[in-house]
Amino acid sequence: MVNSIGINYGQIANNLPSPEDVVPLVKSIGATKVKLYDADPRVLKAFANSGVEFIVGLGNDYLSKVQDPSKAQAWVKSNVQQYLPATKITCIFVGNEVLTFNDTSLSDNLLPAMQSVHTALVDLGLDKQVTVTTAHSLGILETSYPPSAGAFRRDLTSCLTPILNFHAKTGSPFLINAYPFFAYKANPKQVALDFVLFQQNQGIVDPSTNLHYDNMLFAQIDAVYSALTSLGFKKLSVHISETGWPSRGDEDEVGASPENAKKYNGNLIKLMTQKKGTPMRPSCDLNIYVFALFNENMKSGPTSERNYGLFKPDGTPAYSLGITTNVGATNSSSSGVTPSSSGTMPSPTSPSSSTGYLSISSAAATVSPFGLSYLLFFFFNFFSFIIF
């Protein structure tokens, strides 16, 4: 079992360091994988021969275009093939959170675009080393409590099933963006902060399986596993393509603080190095991509949107993660981690010209049902405690 720490490298900012200066920062947190929201050539060149694996993105505005086989192949040649094998590009994610837009013009184009890009990889002899997937919001779930009852939205099942068949056929991972922050923000009086921050807590028990959960993210992941199993896709690999916690927020963004961000991301990375799976899948690898590498000053929306970064634009830590690692980098002392005396390291986006990616707060509209599920979950456990 090899859990992999990944990081989302977004670039909706005008003050970020050069990609060459980013390489040691990525290594300083023990990350072995990077997710881009496009295929920025500056980044892909900078990370050549670094050993870091990449997921590159093909934005929602490309979905209709790449259905043309010639355009799909041209994109793969110029954005993937030319950087191999020096830069380890292992996956292309086509579209971001498409299904929760409730836009049929986008959702109808999603699978054909994925298939077209995969065909291009096959034709170029790259399909054995590069997979094709897409990233989903947790809002595709209709039921998440208890985790064993996780189920996809019924109105999305007819669209999701052929996509899941594609994953099963090609061996590509199922990507989901999960943010316990939103569940806490929606119900801070009912949802225990320690439960969402991976701190010591009483936890909750799934009444159907008797499995114990001491953090919300693992409960969310297992709800996704249950949803996949209910449709007959038990063996699909689930990767958490985005999760994180803001270090600043507006007055109504409860919980957004450096202290909570440090606990969430620091504890998550520590947990990853312990090589543990979720309660439902204890022996399955965890592949989690923290959001995000930098605070991004040009993102719209509430203050939190611009403050999910582990690092400030000048390369100094936004807060100390409190993890121990040794990266052999000249500037590791400024990366927010502590060099290890043992000399060991934990196992393990888009440029200004890009159209960018979804703001995280756009997930808020889809989080309410999930937050309600866990609100009911805590009420259930609370009253059970009182009665028994």
Across residues 148-166, what is the average pLDDT? 97
Task: Identify the pLDDT of residue 352.
Answer: 28
Do residues 261 and 309 make contact, with C-beta atoms less than 8 angstroms apart? no
Mean pLDDT of the chain: 86
State yes or no: pLDDT of 323 exceeds 90. no
- pLDDT at position 326 is 41
What gap in Å lies between CA 344 and CA 326, rounded to an integer? 6
Cα 155 to chain center, whole Å?
24
| Stronger pLDDT, 334 or 149, i.e. the higher one | 149
Rounded CA gap, 310 and 90, in Å? Answer: 24
CA–CA dist 178, 244 (Å, integer)? 8
Q: Does residue 2 or residue 244 have the better pLDDT? A: 244
Q: How confident is the model at residue 275 (pLDDT cuts 50, 70, 90)?
A: confident
Residue 335, exposed/middle/buried by CB under 10 A (0-12, 13-18, 19+)?
buried
Tell me the C-alpha distance between 193 and 191, whole Å. 6
Residue positions counted in the chain? 388
Share of the chain above pLDDT 90, in %: 76
> What pLDDT does 93 receive?
97
The predicted structure's pLDDT at residue 378: 45
CATH code (residue 30): 3.20.20.80
Predicted local distance difference test score (pLDDT) of residue 368: 37
Asked if residue 64 has pLDDT above 50, the reply is yes
* pLDDT value at 223 more than 50: yes
Looking at per-residue pLDDT, the higher value among 387 and 138 belongs to 138
Cα 74 off chain centre by: 28
Mean pLDDT calculated for residue range 281-302: 95
H/E stretch holding 87 reads none
pLDDT band at 119; cut points 50, 70, 90? very high
Confidence class of residue 2 from pLDDT cuts 50, 70 and 90?
Answer: low
Place of tokens 């275009």: 65
Which range of residues forms the domain containing residue 269? 4-387
In contact, 269 and 290? CB cutoff 8 Å: yes
Whether 97 and 357 have beta carbons less than 8 Å apart is answered as no
Q: Which amino acid does the sequence have at 211?
A: L
Quick one: pLDDT band at residue 387, thresholds 50, 70, 90? very low
Instruction: Please tell me the total count of domains within the chain.
Output: 1
pLDDT value, residue 285: 86
Dist. CA 219–CA 353, nearest whole Å:
37
Span 261-287, mean pLDDT?
A: 92
Round to whole Å and give the CA distance between 74 and 11: 24
Q: For residue 355, what pLDDT is reported?
A: 30
Percentages (nearest 5) of helix, strand, coil residues in the chain: 40, 15, 45
pTM of the full structure:
0.86
pLDDT confidence band for 321 (50 / 70 / 90): confident
CB neighbourhood size of 315 (10 A): 18
How buried is 81 (Cβ within 10 angstroms: 0-12 exposed, 13-18 middle, 19+ buried)? middle
pLDDT, residue 339, reads 29
Asked whether the predicted pLDDT for residue 169 surpasses 50, the reply is yes
How many CA atoms are closer than 13 Å to the CA of 80, on its beta-carbon side?
29
Q: Beta-carbon neighbour count of residue 24 at 10 Å?
A: 18
> Vertex 57, ends 247 and 219: CA angle to 5°?
50
Rounded distance, CA 359 to CA 371, Å? 19
Q: Is the pLDDT of residue 280 over 80?
A: yes
pLDDT at position 346, please? 26
pLDDT at 360 over 70: no
> Which residues are known catalytic residues?
97, 242
Q: Measured between alpha carbons, how far is 53 from 63 in angstroms, rounded to an integer?
A: 24
What φ, ψ does residue 88 adopt, rounded to 5°? -85, 80
Helix axes 104-123, 69-79, angle to 10 degrees: 70
